[in-house]
């Protein structure tokens, strides 16, 4: 079983990979968020999103 | 199914909505702690409460319960749930917007399926010690039952170790030790 959580803020997303689980803490004061699709978690950046949409 | 997952907003509703509007998704999953940015006040809490109410009642949207949300929803029934940042004036405005029916729409966890292993999504995480003695194949059944019990306790105004801070959590597993063990709305991510 893997776990995805918030709660503990830091500047970067944190990963703790163990033999039987992946664990991700996503809380960076909303500088990052995640997309889950087809069984895969992808971490994305607010700054990248806003830069991409502003540039369009 | 494409899930968009946003962590703790803490009154940053504009930023949250910028992400939601720009990132395509089928289901929105919010990890809780909507309230209590320490630099914001009652007006921000009111704005946040109105948005949270919309999310709680929106289709394809799941709001997980964070410790700072629990503080305003259940803190008056159980003072041990009150968080730093709690403010009585905010309580009034938040609960002027969110009814008991709204609070009951929060969830303690969500499962994401489709990969090699399922993902348990909670506000702060479930310490592995709580799973000791449970076969990995029965984790889901065990966690579903544990969270249902915790939710019932919360609504009765009773303490439940799964929603408690370290000092309040009983040692039910030998390896857990007597300190540093918190419930899944408080558990600090290990450094």
For residue A37, list its beta bridge partners.
Answer: A40
Separation CA A2–CA A23 (nearest Å):
6
Separation CA B17–CA B46 (nearest Å):
16
Yes or no, beta carbons of A29 and B8 under 8 Å apart: yes
Q: Give me the residue from B23, B112, B187 closest to A49, CB to CB.
A: B23
Yes or no, beta carbons of B124 and A7 under 8 Å apart: yes
Rounded average pLDDT per 10-residue block, chain B, 191 residues: 97 98 98 92 96 98 97 94 93 98 98 92 91 92 96 93 65 43 73 69
Please report the pLDDT score of residue B181 as a whole number. Answer: 58
Q: What are phi and psi of B89, to 5 degrees?
A: -65, -35
Distance from CA of A12 to the nearest CA of B (A): 12
Would you list which residues of chain A are within 8 Å, Cβ to Cβ, of chain B? 1-9, 14, 16, 20-23, 25-30, 32-41, 44, 46, 49-50, 53
Please report the pLDDT score of residue B189 as a whole number. Answer: 78
Separation CA B36–CA B85 (nearest Å):
6
Best residue of B7, B22, B127 to probe chain A, by most A CBs closer than 10 Å = B7
Model ipTM over 0.85: yes
Q: Name the 3-class secondary structure at B31.
A: coil
Yes or no, beta carbons of A1 and B139 under 8 Å apart: yes
Distance from CA of B39 to the nearest CA of A (A): 13
Q: What is the DSSP letter of A13?
A: -
Distance from CA of B8 to the nearest CA of A (A): 6
Separation CA A54–CA A34 (nearest Å):
20
Distance from CA of B49 to the nearest CA of A (A): 18
Please report the pLDDT score of residue A20 as a whole number. Answer: 86
Yes or no, beta carbons of A6 and B8 under 8 Å apart: yes
The answer to whether the pTM exceeds 0.90 is yes
| Interval A2-51: pLDDT, tens | 999 999 999 999 999 988 899 999 999 999 999 999 999 999 999 999 99
End-to-end CA distance of chain A: 39
Yes or no, beta carbons of A50 and B18 under 8 Å apart: yes
Nearest partner of A52 among B24, B13, B12, B1, judged by Cα: B24
Q: How confident is the model at residue A56 (pLDDT cuts 50, 70, 90)?
A: low
Separation CA B106–CA B127 (nearest Å):
21
What does DSSP say about strands A14-18 and A21-25: parallel, antiparallel, or unpaired? antiparallel
For residue A21, list its beta bridge partners.
Answer: A18
Q: What are phi and psi of A35, to 5 degrees?
A: -120, 130
The contacts of residue A51 (CB under 8 Å, 6+ apart) are: none
With b meaning 16 or more CB within 10 Å and e meaning fewer, what string describes A21-45?
A: ebbbbbbbbbbbbbbbeeeebebbe
């Amino acid at each position: 079983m893997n776990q995805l959580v918030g709660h503990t803020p830091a500047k970067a997303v944190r990963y703790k990979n163990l033999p039987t689980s992946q664990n991700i803490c996503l809380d960076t004061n909303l500088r990052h968020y995640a997309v889950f699709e087809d069984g895969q978690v992808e971490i994305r950046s607010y700054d990248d999103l806003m830069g991409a949409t502003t540039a369009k | 199914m494409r899930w968009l997952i946003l962590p703790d907003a803490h009154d940053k509703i504009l930023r949250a909505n910028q992400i939601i509007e720009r990132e395509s998704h089928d289901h929105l999953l919010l990890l809780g702690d909507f309230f209590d940015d320490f630099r914001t006040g009652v007006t921000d809490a009111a704005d946040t409460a109105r948005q949270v109410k919309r999310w709680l009642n929106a289709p394809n949207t799941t709001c997980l319960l964070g410790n700072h949300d629990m503080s305003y929803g259940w803190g008056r029934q159980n003072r041990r749930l009150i968080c730093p940042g709690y403010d009585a004036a905010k309580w009034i405005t938040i609960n002027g917007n969110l009814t008991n029916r709204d609070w009951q729409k929060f969830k303690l966890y969500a499962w994401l399926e489709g990969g090699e292993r399922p993902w348990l999504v909670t506000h702060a995480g479930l310490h592995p010690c709580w799973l000791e003695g449970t076969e990995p194949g029965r984790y889901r059944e065990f966690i579903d039952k544990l969270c249902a019990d915790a939710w019932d306790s919360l609504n009765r105004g009773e303490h439940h170790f799964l929603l408690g801070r370290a000092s309040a959590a009983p040692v039910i597993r030998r390896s857990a030790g007597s300190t540093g063990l918190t419930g899944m709305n408080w558990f600090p991510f290990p450094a």
